[in-house]
Structure 1
Amino acid sequence: MTFYKCKFNGQGCNFLLHEWCTRLPPELKGHEYHQEHTLLLLPKAGHEFLWFYCSVCDDLCNGFAYSCVECDWKIDVWCAFTREKIKHKSHPNHLLSSHYGYNRSGEDGYCRMCLSGFIDNNEISFSCGQCGFHLHLGCALLLPETIRHRYDKHPLSLAYSPVENHEGDYFCEVCEEELNPNACFYHCHECVQSIHTTCAPLIPQSKPYLYGGLRVLWKRVKMGGIYKTEYHPHPLSFLIGTTSDGQCTKCGERFYNNYILKCSECKFVIHARCLT
């Protein structure tokens, strides 16, 4: 993937940009999710720690964002340029439309690819209103149709339903746990082997967080930054917390795949949300 890197004075810094990101327009007018005001592109849209919550997906982000010039409304660049309509192999007869603030209640209010529900109505989905068919944003856009995996010498194809003439139960070749063939999975037709989409990670993801679908943790958050704050005398590193990090200094909860700020000089560690 083509990218640009800072080379100031022949040494540069850690500033990198994808070629696509260099072409982002400086402002957006009449955006479908915030039509009343103009949105300006900002390299830093958050508070002192530089992160913010996207007003569309409600995820934590710390990359570029479009921010309203008149109110405290921000959207990350991923959500800003999500396509309005897509054609998807899981629902080939109709186009799927992106929806934000959409009512997906009822027995059909779940993602047909991972078979799990939505956190709330503010979560973006691709939906067919005619059929009551819904997909998580991540499930719809982030799973490639064909992959290669070290557990199989052939390409594996993304399957959206049980494989024809398959005998017996389905088991994942990687984790050896049972696989639900009504959810999408990767399958080798030559070796008759199947793999969970979560066991073939081509993108960062966290299994315990997958109950709500393919939610790609950290896809819009750059980790490893060092921050100085008035709340603690030493510099703090922005990391993903694990159980080995113990408990939050402020709220007392244990860490498990949370964003944290951690001191390398003492035992101070705190949830990022506890400082916002």
Structure 2
Amino acid sequence: MKLKSDFFGDWVNIQKDILMNHWGYDVSSVPDNKIPLVYFNTEQRRPEAKVRKLLLADTFSCPQNLESGWERLKALIKSGHDLTPNLSKLVSNLNNKDSMLNDWGVHHFHLGENMKGDFIERTGPLLFALLIENKFYAIGIFNHGSWADQDIIEIIHRNWSSVVERYQIKGIVSSTPLTEQERLTLRKRNAFSFVTVQDGTVYAPIGGGMVSSGFNIQAVMRRDHQKMFLRSLEEHLDRQLDSLREVFEKQGYNGEPELEAILDITEDKYTALFPKYGVSAMLWSKA
């Protein structure tokens, strides 16, 4: 008995289904080997709809003309509604990559009051925020184009250094700080650098950083890790097939050399399904 499977391909198909049928993207032109990178890029850009605790930076202030839009967004944050309509319209572009998000982990939100199609009406000033687990860290309201303003990291460090502590680089002497334009130029080239705040603390990219293609480094690492993990599941299942022979024989197995399995993934487990025989085998569970 030998296993016939392509768990990585099955996983890619699951991501395709989410991209197409849940998020509404056309992935027909995306090669399968890039689907995981596109998926993780999209997932990072579209915050999960869930209840979040709102925390304001010490210098946070909302201009009077944006207060209504800010109150509306706060209600969405606290109630767990979808925040996508307040994002940039570029989130609809599957190939677009948010360089500030990839570099510093910072989302930006429009503060309009009324919907215009699928998005809230656009505003010049934007709310910059970190979204980590079930927290919404409101950094401040910045002018459009302030993508590399050093104050963003200064505010994060001053207010929530413990939240981003794992990105601190210990024991190095910082070089001359980059200007905003220099940092923007690096991002355009899909490059990144460390950032030093006023007290001398040095941070690696809080957003993970980018590879030369512009995709997030963490997306590449997640894809590669998942590929190895799924391969290990296939190898383990292949070794267990003989011990399951009796189960398959009861379902009509008659000595065929290969048993075809497909991968099924739910929130808490991975399962191999053998559709020809109506048999399933647990591969991995969070429990």
TM-score normalized by the length of structure 2: 0.28
Greater share of strand residues, 1 or 2?
1
Higher relative CO (CA 8 A, sep ≥ 6), structure 1 or 2? 2
Greater share of helix residues, 1 or 2?
2
